[in-house]
Amino acid sequence: MQENNKLHKAILHLLLAAFFFSLMTFFVRISGDLPTMQKAFFRNFFALLIATGSILKNKVGFSIRKGNGISVLMRCLFGTSGMIANFWAIDRLGIADANMLNKLSPFFAIIVSYFIMKEIPSKTDWACVIMAFTGSLFIIKPSTGLAVIPALVGLYGGFGAGAAYAFVHKMGKTGQPGKTIVFYFSLFSCLVTGPFLIFDWHPMTLAQWGCLIGAGVAASGGQFNITAAYQNAPAKDISVFDYTQVIFAAILGMVFLCEFPDIYSIIGYVVIIGAAVIKWHIARNKAPA
């Protein structure tokens, strides 16, 4: 019963994370023609402020539990490099293509989890993930042609995110507080992207400031929720629900950007939702170990 409750809690957190990350992508997109590193810095700077305030308020502390040092570092490295790649791809592939390449992260999370924690997915797990991945191809529409380099960079963005989430889950098993994981990721990202602002700073309008602040706040909500999700359940049990970000992004695009999906994208959405429903049904009825 306790394991089922943790699974349901993890799924809820992942759905919330998907919404916040879709909102973050939306704000990054409408922030205009700004350097990728500048967008990435402010996305993490405001998230860092929120994470710091949350740690101080809840008196969690900034310490890293024994044995988690390497995992924190790997989460920071993969998470930061994946985020930068995703932001770079957003400006060159468009929000739909870049978002869907990034949504390959659950697939990568399952693979990485096998190597770092020996979590072996079942045949049903693989089927659901492959089903969701197939749905994403309808939205990407690779036959229309993607520039090779931006597409590969966007693909790495998905790998970086997936690897980062796998390390988050590993730390969750040791009881490492999620707030500290978010704090160190945000701090590391600011330290990496900050120096670029000195050499390539672009003045921003009030609207652009608002967009990047919004991106930072949304990113913080996404980070706290996705960290909580992967701390409560393994990637193979919940990662497919991360694809709901596609649905949230589509709604934001239709309402605010007048971007309406074509029939192929709609088919992709249906396939992805179908995979999520199947996975949810199987997880809900899984007998306790």
pLDDT in tens, 242-288: 778 878 888 888 888 787 777 887 888 788 788 877 876 776 676 45
Residue 98: pLDDT above 80? no
Task: Work out whether the CA dihedral 186, 112, 5, 285 comes out positive or negative.
Answer: positive
Closest by CA to 250, choosing from 93, 82, 136, 158, is 136
Query: Cα angle vertex 251, ends 245, 253, to 5°?
Result: 100
Residue 10: pLDDT above 80? yes
How many whole angstroms separate alpha carbon 46 and alpha carbon 48? Answer: 5
How many whole angstroms separate alpha carbon 221 and alpha carbon 224? Answer: 5
Task: Return the pLDDT at 75.
Answer: 93
Task: Return the pLDDT at 286.
Answer: 66
Higher pLDDT, 215 or 132: 215
Query: Cα angle vertex 192, ends 117, 108, to 5°?
Result: 30
Distances (CA, A) of 272 to 130, 206, 268: 10, 37, 6
Higher pLDDT, 75 or 92: 75
Task: Work out whether the CA dihedral 195, 196, 200, 203 comes out positive or negative.
Answer: negative
Q: Which two tokens stand for residue 40?
A: 């990435």
Tokens 């694809």 belong to residue: 243
At 141, is the secondary structure helix, strand, or coil?
Answer: coil
Mean pLDDT of the chain: 83
Closest by CA to 21, choosing from 156, 187, 215, 227, is 215
Residue 94 region by backbone torsions, left for phi larger than 0, else alpha for psi between -120 and 50, else beta: left
Task: Return the pLDDT at 289.
Answer: 45
Q: Which two tokens stand for residue 92?
A: 């060159």
Amino acid identity at 272: I
How many whole angstroms separate alpha carbon 113 and alpha carbon 109? Answer: 6
% of the chain surpassing 70 pLDDT: 92
Task: Return the pLDDT at 188.
Answer: 96
How many whole angstroms separate alpha carbon 251 and alpha carbon 16? Answer: 15
How many whole angstroms separate alpha carbon 224 and alpha carbon 21? Answer: 11
Residue 201 phi, psi (nearest 5): -80, 130
Residue 161: pLDDT above 80? yes
Residue 107: pLDDT above 90? no
- Asked which of 56-60, 104-108, 174-178, 197-201 is least confident by mean pLDDT, the reply is 104-108
Residue 66: pLDDT above 60? yes
Q: Which two tokens stand for residue 184?
A: 């160190």
All structural domains of the chain with their residue ranges: 2-284
Q: pLDDT tens digits for 179-210?
A: 888 899 999 999 999 999 988 889 999 999 99
